[in-house]
Amino acid sequence: MAIARQTHAQQKQDATAARLEALGPISDTGWTAAARASALDRVVQSGLPHARDEYWKFTRPEALTAPEPSEAALFAAEETPIFQKIDRVRLVFVDGVFDADASDAPDLAGVRIERLAKAAEADIHWAKSLYGTLEANGQAPVSRPLAALNTAFADDGVLIHVTGKADRPVSIAYERRDGTADAMLHHVIKLDPGADFTLLENGPAAARFNKVMEVDIADGAAFHHVRAQGRDHERQAATHIFARLGQESVFKSFTLTANGRLTRNDCVIDLTGDDAVAHVAGACVGDGDFHHDDTVFVTHDAVNCESRQVFKKVLRNGATGVFQGKILVREGAQKTDGYQISQSLLLDGDSQFLAKPELEIYADDVACSHGSTSGAIDEEALFYLRSRGVPEDRATDLLTLAFLAEAVQEIEDEALAGEILTRLEAWLERRRA
């Protein structure tokens, strides 16, 4: 046993060393230098994820930790456009590299938008107190070494400081044109008290993508996030959101994922101010060689906060869906209202859904509930639809959409919810064709 353990530790150490060697030295200039150095220490300390790690039992991390990404063929089919009807400030990254020509000028009242690559040259910056800080806070009690790796090495990303109510969302489009690009982006978003801001994200990003987003939401501020990960099948991605919520603040995040050989989305939320609200939701559709993992960790560390996790996955042809969700209620976090639901719709017997719902509660006056279900299509409903003339595949799609709708409904803005539904419908329709 002792020998086996040493072997895993050794494997982990070797894999970490190989990855770090391939990446080379970290940048040691500018205001991010200290954060990068300590993040690198965290990576070395914990090592990169290994299949034996507690939160990597259902998702094999090798492809995400290997020195080089495996080649990912470009997605040939046409992608349904998204967010085009939304008036927004659009920023474009291609294979992780900022595309100034394709991007809008970052002019938005009440919002300051900069690129990490540009800002990092300065000696002092507002983002200094945040860059790598929320990520570091999110390393306990569960280490998230891919996020620390990102803090240490990401050389670009977007820094957004919101001082008021933004009248338009910012959208970041991640395009992919290269079969082997290995991209890392690190975004920092700071909302001042009472600020209101919506961030949209879409696209496959890169053959291998590692993204971290740190969001600091001050008292009374509201942050909305809607993301559509591309239909691009071969890409692999590990993303982290670290959010810290002040008093009476709001955080709402929704992610749509369709296909992608490997997607791991971590969301780490810290409710630090009283009366804050955090909702995180996801809808995913997986077909075939598809692996999708949502790992959510919500910590209640203040009084009378509400958290809600709603995840729905539709799986077919051997696809795998994973949900690991935790609600941690710390001592003193009374009147906590925590809710978590994860459900899968398995369209055949080859697909699987693996769920690990967890509640850990150290306060005595709380209401927390969680549930997880896995089921096939409702045969009664299917027959009812068919008996009215709806063909079987179309009827299955209607029921599939209905199943996912509960997660999509978590999006507050109707126009944005409509964009997501339109894309979902288009996907389903194309699959039938």
Partner 1 sequence: MLTIKNLHVKLEDEDKQILKGVDLTVEAGKVHAIMGPNGSGKSTLSYVLSGREGYEVTDGSAELEGLDLLDMDPEERAAAGLFLAFQYPVEIPGVGNMTFLRTALNAQRKARGEDEMSAADFLKFIREKAKTLKIDADMLKRPVNVGFSGGEKKRNEILQMAVLQPRMCILDETDSGLDVDAMKLVSDGVNALRDAGRGFLVITHYQRLLDHIRPDVVHIMAGGRIVKTGGPELALEVEKNGYADLMAESA
Rounded CA separation 198/31 (Å): 27
How far apart are CB 352 and partner 1 at their closest, in Å? 23
Rounded CA separation 266/288 (Å): 23
How far apart are CB 405 and partner 1 at their closest, in Å? 5
Rounded CA separation 127/170 (Å): 18
How far apart are CB 139 and partner 1 at their closest, in Å? 39
Q: Residue 140 is which amino acid?
A: A
Q: Residue 125 — φ and ψ, nearest 5°? A: -160, 150
Q: Which is nearer to partner 1, 192 or 406 (CB)?
A: 406
Q: Which is nearer to partner 1, 277 or 390 (CB)?
A: 390
Alpha carbon distances (Å) from 218 to 163, 246, 248: 10, 5, 9
- Which run of H or E residues covers position 149? helix 145-153
Rounded CA separation 433/425 (Å): 12
Q: Which is nearer to partner 1, 24 or 388 (CB)?
A: 388
Q: Which is nearer to partner 1, 121 or 392 (CB)?
A: 392
What are the residues binding partner 1 (CB under 8 A)? 378-381, 383-392, 394-395, 398-399, 401-403, 405-406
How far apart are CB 375 and partner 1 at their closest, in Å? 13
In terms of C-beta density within 10 A (0-12 exposed, 13-18 middle, 19 or more buried), how is residue 382 classed?
Answer: middle
What DSSP string describes 154-176? --B-EEEEE-SB-SS-EEEEEE-
How far apart are CB 379 and partner 1 at their closest, in Å? 8
How far apart are CB 382 and partner 1 at their closest, in Å? 9
How far apart are CB 390 and partner 1 at their closest, in Å? 5
Rounded CA separation 194/317 (Å): 47
Q: Which is nearer to partner 1, 163 or 409 (CB)?
A: 409
Q: Residue 266 is which amino acid?
A: D
Q: Do strands 352-361 and 320-329 pair parallel, antiparallel, or not at all (unpaired)?
A: parallel
Q: Which is nearer to partner 1, 73 or 402 (CB)?
A: 402
The residues, ordered by sequence, that sit 6+ positions from 103 with a Cβ below 8 Å of its Cβ are 90, 91, 92
Q: Which is nearer to partner 1, 58 or 254 (CB)?
A: 254
